[in-house]
C-alpha cells in the first residue's frame, strides 16, 4: 500500500488509480484473509482500514466522473484528500506496529 500512497503523492489518473488499487488488493488480500493475520489483529485492522479509505476515495472519484454535478468540486477535493490522509495515517499506524514501536493489542 505504500507504493499506492507514493503514486498518489506524485499524481496519477483515475484509470491508473483504479488499476493500482486493484493491484494493491491482490497483494494485501492473501495476508488479511490468512490465519496468520489473526495473530496480529491491530496490524490487520489498520491495513484493512487503510485499504477501505483508498477504496472510498475511488468510489468518490467514480461518483465525480459519473455524476459531475452531484458533488461541488471543492467538497469532492476535500473528501478525496481526507480519505487519502486517513489511509496514510492508518498505514503509519500499521508501520509502527510492524516495527515494534507500538505493541500489538
State the DSSP string of 25-43.
Answer: HHHHHHHHTSGGGGG-HHH
- In a domain, residue 104? The reply is no
Backbone angles phi, psi at 102, to 5 degrees: -130, 135
Q: What is the pLDDT of residue 73?
A: 82
Rounded average pLDDT per 10-residue block, the chain, 105 residues: 90 95 95 90 95 96 90 86 96 92 63
- In a domain, residue 40? The reply is yes
CB 50 within 8 A of CB 94: yes
Q: What is the pLDDT of residue 59?
A: 95
Rounded-to-integer distance, Cα 57 and Cα 45, Å: 18
- In a domain, residue 59? The reply is yes
User: What's the domain range around 21?
Assistant: 2-98
- In a domain, residue 80? The reply is yes
Report the number of distinct structural domains present in the chain. Answer: 1
- In a domain, residue 105? The reply is no
Amino acid at each position: 500500500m505504500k507504493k499506492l500512497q507514493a503514486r498518489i503523492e506524485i499524481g496519477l489518473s483515475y484509470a491508473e488509480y483504479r488499476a493500482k488499487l486493484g493491484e494493491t488488493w491482490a497483494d494485501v488480500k492473501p495476508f488479511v484473509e490468512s490465519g496468520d493475520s489473526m495473530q496480529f489483529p491491530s496490524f490487520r485492522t489498520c491495513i484493512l482500514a487503510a485499504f477501505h479509505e483508498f477504496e472510498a476515495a475511488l468510489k468518490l472519484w467514480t461518483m465525480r466522473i459519473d455524476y459531475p454535478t452531484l458533488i461541488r468540486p471543492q467538497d469532492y477535493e476535500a473528501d478525496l484528500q481526507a480519505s487519502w490522509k486517513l489511509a496514510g495515517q492508518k498505514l503509519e499506524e500499521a508501520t509502527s506496529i510492524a516495527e515494534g514501536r507500538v505493541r500489538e493489542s
